[in-house]
């Protein structure tokens, strides 16, 4: 572990700046969060992409969102195989321990993971097809989604980015504790997609099976 180094200077500087201003001005709020614990109203599942900033989009403060990020905001199907499932663990904790009222899946434009999935499904990304590719095997979750959008004309990337949200929403319902909370009226699922360049936000209208502007 000798290769682990102290933080770069620019981050140390930024941290001290935040401690002196952002933290100092909201000190009481931070103290309260520390003593009372977290009670987030929503869990958000978004992409790791650095351009996706769910707390900015919704003006959320610390303690409001329980956020899980992974490549292409995907929820895998419910699977009890004893393996290490990070997304499923976060979901289980949010729904059963924190009892969040909402789970929001947030997709986005120009998603590199989704583009990789398209390339893989169309035979242009042999490196992703390897058994050893973590990204490739993760993106297998979206293969059924690709099959659904492959014939659609127009912008395939946008179609699959939105489909990634729908696939995740479908997979969410395969988790017994999610289905139960939804059936009991304690939990609501939501799917949204954001256009990074335009700052746009669309939601999935399940009844109409299409995305509409918020």
Residue ranges that bind Zn ion, judged by CB under 5 A: 47, 49, 111, 113
Least distance from Zn ion to the Cβ atom of residue 204, Å:
17
Nearer to Zn ion, 187 or 194 (CB): 194
Residue-by-residue DSSP string for 157-179 = HHHHHHHHHHHHHHHHTTSHHHH
Smallest gap, in angstroms, from Cβ of residue 109 to Zn ion? Answer: 9
Give the nearer residue to Zn ion in terms of CB position, either 41 or 69.
69
Using CA atoms in the order 115, 117, 119, 125, what is the torsion angle rounded to 10 degrees?
Answer: 120
Minimum CB distance to Zn ion smaller for 88 or for 109: 109
Q: Shortest gap between Cβ of 1 and Zn ion (angstroms)?
A: 31
CA separation for the pair 99, 187 (Å, rounded): 8
Q: Which is nearer to Zn ion, 100 or 111 (CB)?
A: 111
Q: How many angstroms separate the Cα of 119 from the Cα of each of 107, 111, 134, 162?
A: 18, 12, 15, 17
**CB contact at 8 A, 104 and 42:** yes
- Report, in Å, the least distance between residue 122 CB and Zn ion: 18
């Amino acid at each position: 572990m000798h290769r682990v180094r102290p933080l770069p200077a620019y981050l140390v500087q930024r941290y001290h700046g935040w401690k002196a201003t952002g933290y100092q001005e909201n000190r009481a709020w931070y103290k309260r969060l520390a003593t009372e614990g977290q009670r987030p109203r929503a869990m958000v599942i978004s992409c790791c992409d650095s351009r996706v900033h769910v707390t900015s989009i919704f003006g959320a403060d610390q303690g409001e969102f329980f956020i899980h990020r992974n490549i292409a905001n995907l929820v895998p199907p419910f699977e009890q195989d004893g393996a290490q499932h990070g997304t499923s663990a976060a979901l289980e904790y949010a729904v059963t321990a924190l009892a969040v009222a909402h789970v929001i899946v947030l997709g986005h434009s120009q998603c590199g993971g989704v583009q990789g999935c398209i390339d893989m499904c169309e035979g242009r990304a042999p490196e992703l097809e390897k058994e050893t590719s973590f990204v490739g095997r993760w993106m297998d979750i979206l293969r059924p989604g690709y099959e659904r959008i492959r014939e659609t004309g127009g912008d395939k990337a946008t179609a699959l980015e939105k489909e990634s949200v729908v696939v995740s929403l479908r997979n969410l319902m395969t988790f017994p504790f999610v289905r139960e909370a939804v059936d009991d009226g304690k939990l609501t699922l939501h799917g949204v997609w954001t256009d990074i360049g335009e700052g746009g936000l669309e939601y999935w209208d399940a009844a109409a099976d299409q995305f509409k502007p918020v």
